[in-house]
Structure 1
Amino acid sequence: MPQFVEFVINHWILWTAFFVLLGLLLGGEIQRRRYGIPQVGPTQAIQILNREGALLLDVREDKELAESGRIPHARHIPLSQLSERLAELKAGKDKPVVAYCRSGSRSNKAATQLRKAGYEQVYNLAGGILAWENANLPLNKK
């Protein structure tokens, strides 16, 4: 046991980084479970869009949008502006919303915000636009 304590003391930066990363990972998972945001893959997202007429919400920043394009017919509202621009969604709170970002982390936060605002059917595109690209699905690169 004294060797372990000595190791921790000698490598405190490593241990601090470990616990910070662990907290970030667990925090995101706790948030997902607390608000029950379903994670959907690209194929499931397409089914929700086609069958239920869902709104597709891109929450990336403007710079990211210019760099990699966006999914056709997606509504773009950056996460940093979402709370002020919720009225722009023009979707009934009972209409499904599929949120996405680059990798799925920020869109999970957006989905949580939407759920708190009263939207009942909110989904997060797991893996974000990267998963969409990896599935060879179309993007508008304008």
Structure 2
Amino acid sequence: MSQYLEFFQAHVGLFIALAVVIALFIGNELHGNLTGGKRLSAAEAVRMINDRDPLVVDIRPLPEFKRGHLLGAFHAPASKFDDYLGQISKDKSRPVIVYCALGSSSTAIVEKLRKAGVAEVYPLRGGLNAWTMADLPVTSK
């Protein structure tokens, strides 16, 4: 036990950094859940795509979209999203899945769609990164 105490005393800065990272991670998760509503995992998104035919919206820049995106995804870059808002929110009863590269940028777009009256909008937790990490297919066509 004394070795653990010595290690802790010798590396206090590392333990403080670890505590800060854990607190930021927890804070980010809580903020996303409180402001963004339910975020879909890759498996939940697949289930929704198969069962309910949602509109899948990719908000990444065009070069990233061309490198790979979900099959059938509608490209509406976040920087010009207001130009696409009317087109996306046309069918307010159809579910919408929004994704970016890592899942952090999509919450602002989800909020815009909710304010536009879209009933069901879900960000993809972890974005395209989580999708590919789950070995799910992407296309560049």
Same fold (TM over 0.5): yes
1:15 counterpart residue number: none
Which residue of the partner structure matches residue 100 of structure 1?
Answer: 99
Structure 1, residues 72-94: CA drift from partner, whole Å, max 9, x if none?
Answer: 10000011111222122265111
Contact 1:104 1:128 survives alignment (8 Å): yes
Equivalents in 2 of 1:31, 1:126: separation in Å?
9
Provide the C-alpha distance between the structure 2 equivalents of 1:80 and 1:114, rounded to a whole number of angstroms: 15
Q: For the Cα contact (< 8 Å) 2:103–2:125, is it kept in 1?
A: yes
| 8 Å CA contact retained: 1:55, 1:91 | no
Residues 1:106 and 1:33: Cα distance change in structure 2 (over 3 Å) = same
AA of the residue aligned to 2:61: E
Give the percent of matched residue pairs that are identical in Structure 1 and Structure 2: 32
How far residue 62 of structure 1 moved from its aligned partner, in angstroms, is 1.2
2:34 aligned partner: 33
- The residue number in structure 1 matching 2:120 is 121
Please give the secondary structure, in 2, of the residue aligned with 1:136: coil
Unpaired stretches in structure 2, ≥5 consecutive residues:
1-19
User: What root-mean-square deviation, in Å, do the aligned CA atoms of Structure 1 and Structure 2 show?
Assistant: 2.4
Alignment size in residue pairs:
120
CA separation of 1:76 and 1:30: change in aligned 2, threshold 3 A: same
TM value normalised by structure 2: 0.74
**Offset of residue 30 of structure 1:** 3.6
Moved over 3 A (4+): 25-32
Amino acid at match of 1:101: C
Q: For 2:122, what is the secondary structure of its paired residue? A: strand
Residue correspondence of structure 1 range 1-142 to structure 2 within 5 A? 26=27, 29-30=30-31, 32-34=33-35, 36-66=36-66, 68-89=67-88, 91-142=90-141
Q: Which runs of 5+ in 1 are unaligned?
A: 1-17
Specify the SS of the correspondent of 2:102: coil
Rate the CA distance shift 1:111–1:91 in 2: closer, same or farther, 3 A. same
Contact 1:32 1:108 in 2 (8 A): no
Q: What do residues 16-45 of structure 1 show as CA deviations (whole Å, max 9, x unaligned)? A: xx8xxx5xx8578446414x5211111100
| Structure 2: distance between partners of 1:52 and 1:134 | 23
Displacement after TM superposition at 1:109 (Å): 1.4
